[in-house]
Structure 1
């Protein structure tokens, strides 16, 4: 086998590299300077990279710190505003009434803050909600009625903008008056429980459901099992009981303003214009007009609490985790 040029036969590879480096050094009399320049350039590049990462992480912490300060400052400013005098306290009821949104806790907190401030001349709840949990709606309803008895001189009004349906109307019926727009959606005094069944699909795919329970009704509502008349009767009984609670709450809140209409508690909705003759609402109005013309205090202060940044993060993480592991069957009562 022929040896490579410049290398003796059977010469070790390491020695060959050393000899080649020695020859290149001899050919370049400025090799020390070149080596120092290359090392300095490599160190400079590494320093720049490390500096970029330091700047990045410092910016991340700065943004987090500013958001935390803004959250705390916002809560402080809301509390300071309650020390004023002669204003209309505004509470926003937005979105689904659920534990994820902390609806009941935030509504009750806002009501207490508004009532505790001597400057509050009246309270307006701005409603934009399709409803939600009957339990949370009932909690807010009961607390509103309790606080109204303790503070009879401070009226509470609900102003419906887009929608006040189902659980939202449950809460609204505790107010002194309800104001709507001609096109607002009002009503839906009913309860529902939804789900679906996969037994037909499973049969086509050759999948067998093997469910074992301890208790005859433990597997009620399982979407992978055939419909059970006994379970459906139990569920309907529960829905009817909750519906009766809903109806009684509306009657207690609205009193003789409600008209005798067979459709009133059927679960249907009406636009604001049609809700007035039925006694579901008391008149037309916006937040501004009610504050100005009814409460006689056009200064409006939003007392709706905002969750702190850590709470929002923890809640969002919990909701995301729950959504990822929840079963296919989900029951909602409105």
Structure 2
């Protein structure tokens, strides 16, 4: 069995040396102190976002031809029976990529696997914290359609992280394999807004808003939090719960032990699994107890399951 070579990490530049300051630093008084704290936390958050951004960029650059997939040749050397490996790495997004966006790239890879008679199964290798709802849904639908149209199974192999949208894309797969310490779960939807009203008051900035409708400025970061009306809160709650219900439906449909999941290793969802679909993270072991994962193992185990399902001889 042959796996892709690991890509080397990008070089880390040494920190620049700062010259000595000339003269005492200027005194900062009340307002400036608040501005400094705001900028500090903004920069700290920016560093985190930048790390995610460059991780996504480096993952994209690691695949010079994003329309191809990795192939695993069977251990008996049978060149006519292969397994395609499709990677879902980093933030799931339609924007953070070089060349094709992630849903389009994965769709092209599945199309190639569908057209190649040598490909008997696909392993979806996931290492992702999740991301956009629409991007996750597009990938999940592509996987479901691929299995229905080709009758080739897709096996999800969760690596270190397969949470939220990372689990969403795994749900339609025929089987899910996870390491016992994989971080998964985080089933839920979140919407957040940073409110700057108090800070703007302190620095004497008064925002002015013109709008076409009473709900156009919901989650306005410049207005007081109490500005949000009960009606607007209900609009936001309904939006979040509609998206959450869709997430739950994708899981229940994908994990249903029906004609597409007849493997003896397939586990049904536990009766109380929804009690744990409240945004909490789960280990691979916990997810297996809830029927959200079928087997504990690594990439090699995912290959074995693909061989078993397709009836390919493992060789010696």
For the superposition of Structure 1 and Structure 2, which TM-score range results when normalised by the shorter chain?
Answer: 0.5 to 0.7
2:177 aligns with one of 176, 179, 194 = 179
Which residue of 1 is the match for residue 286 of structure 2?
A: 274
CA deviation vs aligned residue, 1:83-125 (integer Å, no higher than 9, x gap): x621110011000111123111111111111121100121101
Cα RMSD of the aligned pairs, angstroms, is 2.7
Which residue of 2 is the match for residue 193 of structure 1?
A: 191
Which residue of 1 is the match for residue 133 of structure 2?
A: 134
Once the two structures are TM-superposed, the CA of residue 298 in structure 1 deviates from its matched residue by 9.5
Equivalent position SS for 2:155: strand
2:163 aligns with one of 157, 165, 170 = 165
CA deviation vs aligned residue, 1:17-41 (integer Å, no higher than 9, x gap): xxxxxxxxxxxxxxxxxxxxxxxxx
Which residue of 2 is the match for residue 306 of structure 1?
A: none
> Which has the higher Rg, Structure 1 or Structure 2?
1
Unaligned runs of 5+ in 1: 1-70, 300-334
C-alpha separation in 2, matches of 1:87 and 1:191: 37
Residue 112 to residue 236, structure 1, CA distance change in 2 (3 Å): same
Residue 80 to residue 289, structure 1, CA distance change in 2 (3 Å): closer
Q: Does 1:97 align with 2:92?
A: yes
CA deviation vs aligned residue, 1:242-267 (integer Å, no higher than 9, x gap): 00111111100012511122423211
Are the equivalent residues in 2 in contact too, given 1:292–1:298 (CA < 8 A)?
A: no
Moved more, 241-250 or 290-299: 290-299
C-alpha separation in 2, matches of 1:80 and 1:198: 47
Q: Does 1:224 align with 2:209?
A: no
Are the equivalent residues in 1 in contact too, given 2:194–2:221 (CA < 8 A)?
A: yes
Once the two structures are TM-superposed, the CA of residue 233 in structure 1 deviates from its matched residue by 2.4
C-alpha separation in 2, matches of 1:175 and 1:244: 19
Which residue of 2 is the match for residue 291 of structure 1?
A: 303
Equivalent position SS for 1:126: strand
1:260 aligns with one of 265, 268, 271 = 271
Q: How does 1:294-309 map to 2 (within 5 A)?
A: 294-295=306-307
C-alpha separation in 2, matches of 1:280 and 1:113: 29
Are the equivalent residues in 2 in contact too, given 1:193–1:239 (CA < 8 A)?
A: yes
TM-score (ref. length: structure 1): 0.63
C-alpha separation in 2, matches of 1:77 and 1:218: 40
Unaligned runs of 5+ in 2: 1-60, 73-78, 258-267
Are the equivalent residues in 1 in contact too, given 2:89–2:128 (CA < 8 A)?
A: yes
Equivalent position SS for 1:137: helix
Q: Which segments of structure 1 move beyond 4 Å, counting only runs of 4 or more?
A: 76-82, 296-299
Once the two structures are TM-superposed, the CA of residue 206 in structure 1 deviates from its matched residue by 1.8
Which residue of 2 is the match for residue 58 of structure 1?
A: none
Residue 91 to residue 77, structure 1, CA distance change in 2 (3 Å): closer
CA deviation vs aligned residue, 1:306-330 (integer Å, no higher than 9, x gap): xxxxxxxxxxxxxxxxxxxxxxxxx
TM-score (ref. length: structure 2): 0.66
Once the two structures are TM-superposed, the CA of residue 187 in structure 1 deviates from its matched residue by 1.0
Identify the structure with bigger relative contact order (alpha carbons < 8 Å, sequence gap 6+): 1
Which residue of 1 is the match for residue 237 of structure 2?
A: 236
Once the two structures are TM-superposed, the CA of residue 231 in structure 1 deviates from its matched residue by 2.6
Residue 204 to residue 179, structure 1, CA distance change in 2 (3 Å): same
C-alpha separation in 2, matches of 1:277 and 1:286: 18
Once the two structures are TM-superposed, the CA of residue 81 in structure 1 deviates from its matched residue by 7.2
Q: How does 1:319-330 map to 2 (within 5 A)?
A: none
2:205 aligns with one of 202, 207, 211 = 207
Whose helix fraction is larger, Structure 1's or Structure 2's?
1
C-alpha separation in 1, matches of 2:148 and 2:67: 29
Are the equivalent residues in 2 in contact too, given 1:288–1:298 (CA < 8 A)?
A: no
Moved more, 100-109 or 121-130: 100-109
C-alpha separation in 1, matches of 2:69 and 2:160: 29
Which residue of 2 is the match for residue 61 of structure 1?
A: none
C-alpha separation in 2, matches of 1:277 and 1:79: 32
